[in-house]
Amino acid sequence: MLQTLPALHAPKLLSWYDRHHRELPWRVNPAAAKAGKRADPYHVWLSEVMLQQTTVQAVKPYFAKFLALWPKVTDLAAAPVEDVMAAWAGLGYYARARNLKKCAETVALEHGGVFPDTEEGLRALPGIGDYTSAAIAAIAFNRQSAVMDGNVERVISRLHAIDAPLPGSKPLMKARVAELTPSDRPGDFAQAMMDLGATICTPKRPTCALCPFRDDCLAFAEHDPESFPVKAAKKEKPVRFGAAFVAVTPGGEALLKRRIESGLLGGMTEVPTTAWTSRVDGGTTADHAPFPAGWEACGTVVHVFTHFELRLSVFRALTEKVAVDDGWWEPVTNLEAQALPTVMKKAIAQAISRAFEKHPN
């Protein structure tokens, strides 16, 4: 008979975590925690914001870069927003970077550089929602908070064979996570659930034989773990079209602009483009160029955003400097240091094949 008493689950998982946890740069491992080391709330917050919709491997170099540039939250609060956006470039979901800066400023100015230590206090900060507030409260402050990311959703849905589809089943899943979360070591428990989902209870071909929950898992008992979590049918992403214009001077400077602060890619750097959005196509021909020049077509780049796919026709021109509203001319050798989102790097690379190669000093 399957035993699903919550009281039995936490010790099993924590014992597994003590032996098989991932070593992550923002994490205090179990041995260090037992020796009295505490997680740094700044590190926990920074990593959790970066990890939203992003893989651990992608985040690691950005986490190291941010700590090297801004070792404390007060340093980040004092940094120019342009520098923060440039350091974030390539990590995607750029509203996170804007909220990161706002949150750092709020912590520095309104909380004396100290993060609130409760879910409620954390949730009041810019850019921190239910998941992030629970994760910081549990991991940084050892609060008994129910932490549920995608990995935890997968584990809990399989453990209880929750067959209601996401996202409607989230409240039930979170209630089950809350039942399991112990008062002792809740931060380690939250990280253990994440690690279990990332390394054992994976979306495809889970390693059930090595799982500490295998004797209690209803999906495993039914020989069908990959069917969970159940997800509602995805809508097909719309495709939008536009054009990007890469202008370069004979001296090797490219025309850049800064996008408006609000909306998609707000505050980031771009080459001139047509007025595409997630809902409306932009122009796709050289007739829409920012100024007359010998514009040449050099192909199309495709970039997939969360809710739509964008196809940009790319044009390039060799030109003398022209004044453009909100624009400036940047040496091509310095493009890597600019706050260019991935879609703009793709467009520039399509027009200037070696634009992002490392250049000697």
Active site (catalytic) residues:
48
Q: Are 332 and 348 in contact (CB under 8 A)?
A: no
> Residue 125 gets which letter from DSSP?
S
* Amino acid identity for residue 30 in this structure: P
Measured N-to-C along each axis, helices 56-69 and 41-51 cross at an angle, to the nearest 10 degrees, of 140
Cβ–Cβ < 8 Å for 132, 45: yes
Instruction: Report which of 69, 56, 58, 55 is spatially closest to residue 26, judged by C-alpha positions.
Output: 56
Residue 238, C-beta contacts closer than 8 angstroms, at least 6 positions apart: 278, 307, 308, 309
Alpha-carbon torsion 126, 337, 51, 108, what sign?
negative
Do residues 344 and 270 make contact, with C-beta atoms less than 8 angstroms apart? yes
